Amino acid sequence: MADSPDPETIAAATNPTWERVLLARHPKRPHSADYISRVFTGFSELHGDRFFGDDAAVMGGFAFLDARPVMVIGQEKGRDTKQKLHRNFGMPKPEGYRKALRLMRLAEKFQRPIVTFLDTVGAYPGIDAEERGQAEAIANNLREMSRLGVPVVTVVIGEGGSGGALGLGIANRVYMLENAYYSVISPESCAAIIYRDSGRAAEAAQALRLTAQDLERLQLIDGIIEEPAEGAQTDPNRAAEFVKETIQRAVAELAPLTSKELIDDRYNKFRRMGNFFAEGQGA
């Protein structure tokens, strides 16, 4: 996708939004695994949802943020072809969401903060995923994450693809990398609907206001994390430093809060989102 040069590169030249979408999908862009290995030490992956299987599109485990034990969970796309197939291109199935919730509850039991990385084009659209309740798995995470009595910090590192991304994103603090996007629908699907032409994704991306800058302006995120030079792919170590600083600061701010304060803080944050309506008289 991001490799194919011509029409997309041309579109990017005149459309800074599309340029960011291409960066978010850049083949060399750091993924969850890259941040996990750089931001934390001693990461130990934990597998399985205890019901059906282990979804490799969701990577989770315990680790240490300096000395502080934390639970880390991220959507992972995989790098080479073999890994990509193994990780299902980062498109989680229901067991991925259920594994994530299991790990979050484990973290809550032992009062450990939770850090999640969002990077998926979307939840997997397949027969098996529907059979095992993709919608239920995401819905349940949205509700259950909202009652976790520990700090939750989310960073959108690449693609924030709709409900599939949000299913790990109910946090006290939500940050986006400078060139990440977060959207209700993929630009391609949006273009297919509104222009009946998925090739016009660049235009759709602009209309959707999906950049970090847009989301900050709409008050849907807490901040933007700067990327080095021409994007995170040019210097993953530096990108990870910026991410680490942000996570450290957020966790330090949230650590003194009680469980109830954390739950209320998270609730109030999402409760305020999207106050873009006028209160008129009846229709």
Host H or E run for residue 250: helix 236-254
| Residue 253 contacts another protein per CB under 8 A | no
Among 84, 28, 27, which Cα is nearest to 56's?
84
266 binds another protein (CB under 8 A): yes
Burial of 145 (0-12, 13-18, 19+ CB in 10 A): buried
What whole-number distance in Å separates Cα of residue 155 and Cα of residue 246? Answer: 9
Give yes or no for residue 172 binding another protein (CB under 8 A).
no
Q: Give the separation between CA 211 and CA 14, rounded to whole angstroms.
A: 16
Q: Are 157 and 31 in contact (CB under 8 A)?
A: yes
Question: Does the protein bind another protein through residue 280 (CB under 8 A)?
Answer: yes
127 binds another protein (CB under 8 A): yes
Q: If binding is defined by CB under 8 A, does position 261 make contact with another protein?
A: no
Q: Of 75, 120, 189, 246, which lies in the binding site for another protein, with binding defined by CB under 8 A? A: 189
Interface with another protein, residue 55, by CB under 8 A: no
CA distances from 54 to 134, 137, 185 (A): 15, 14, 26
CA–CA gap between residue 207 and residue 193 (Å, rounded): 13
CB of 222 to another protein, least distance (A): 13
Judged by CB, which is closer to another protein: 34, or 95? 95
Out of 61, 68, 195, 238, which residue is the one contacting another protein (CB under 8 A)? 195
What's the min distance (Å) between Cβ of 152 and another protein?
A: 12
The least distance separating another protein from the CB of residue 72, rounded to whole angstroms, comes to 21
Which of 85, 79, 72, 82 minimizes the C-alpha distance to 37?
72
* Choices 1-9, 110-118, 141-149, 228-236 (CB under 8 A): range interacting with another protein: 141-149
Task: Note whether 182 binds another protein by CB under 8 A.
Answer: yes
Least Cβ distance, residue 65 to another protein (angstroms): 25
The verdict on 276 binding another protein (CB under 8 A) reads yes
Beta-carbon neighbour count of residue 51 at 10 Å?
A: 11
Show the binding pattern over residues 72-111: x = contacts another protein (CB under 8 A), - = does not.
----------------------------------------
Of the residues 72, 153, 210, 247, which one makes contact with another protein according to CB under 8 A: 210
C-beta of residue 198 within 8 angstroms of C-beta of residue 188? yes
Residue 166 lies near another protein (rule: CB under 8 A): yes
Distance CA 176, CA 19 (A): 16
Write phi, then psi, for 251 (nearest 5 degrees). Answer: -65, -40
Distance between CA 111 and CA 149 in Å, rounded? 8
Q: Does 273 bind another protein (CB under 8 A)?
A: yes
Contact indicator for 169, 194 with CB cutoff of 8 Å:
no
Site residues (vs another protein, CB under 8 A): 123-127, 129-136, 138-140, 142-144, 146-147, 162-163, 166-167, 169-170, 182-185, 189-190, 193-195, 207-210, 214-215, 218, 220, 266-267, 270-271, 273-283
